[in-house]
Amino acid sequence: MNETLVEFQKAVYDALNNDTTLSAIVSGVYDFVPQGTSYPYAVIKQNKVKDWSTISTIGYEVEMEIEVFSKERGNKTVLEISSRIHELLHDTTLALGGGHQLVDIRYNDGGVKRSKDGLVYINSNLFTAFIEK
């Protein structure tokens, strides 16, 4: 299972990080944000993994959250960045290594909130992927 998660996160990271349009509007895509990173940026988080195996196939259902952070006033920046992430990931094909195959990836849910101090806008984007090995 861990190998599947690593391959999936790598494919998502590559799809986002190698897109010139997204790279032009964020300072980076991370799973760990380095201290001093400038805004806006995106963070890949792994949420839940469920066994999706059948008698003949090993499979996993993976829920992955990608959060977008911005200090620009209002929702516009985080929503524009999230829109691009949606275009890159929703119902797309990603190449996974290690004998894994992405069956499907879909956008499920999202929403904008503000940090406790009110200075940072955060948009959550939840995707669900089905992966076979």
Mind listing the pLDDT tens digit for each residue in 10-45?
A: 999 999 999 999 999 999 999 999 999 999 999 999
What's the CA gap between 92 and 86, in Å, rounded? 10
Contact in structure between 39 and 96 (CB atoms under 8 Å) = no
Structural domains of the chain, ranges and CATH numbers in brackets: 2-120 (3.30.2000.30)
The sheet with strand 29-30 has its strands ordered as 29-30, 41-51, 59-70, 121-132, 101-114
pLDDT band per the 50, 70, 90 thresholds, residue 2 = confident
Q: Do 105 and 64 contact (CB within 8 A), yes or no?
A: no
Q: How far apart are CA 13 and CA 64, in angstroms?
A: 12
Portion of the chain with pLDDT greater than 70, in percent: 99
- pLDDT, position 50: 92
- Identify the pLDDT of residue 4: 87
Please say if the pLDDT value at position 47 is more than 90: no
Q: Tell me the whole-structure pTM to 2 decimals.
A: 0.93
Stretch 96-122: mean pLDDT: 95
**pLDDT the model gives residue 1:** 63
C-beta atoms surrounding 43 within 10 Å: 17
- 93-102 per-position pLDDT tens digit: 999 999 999 9
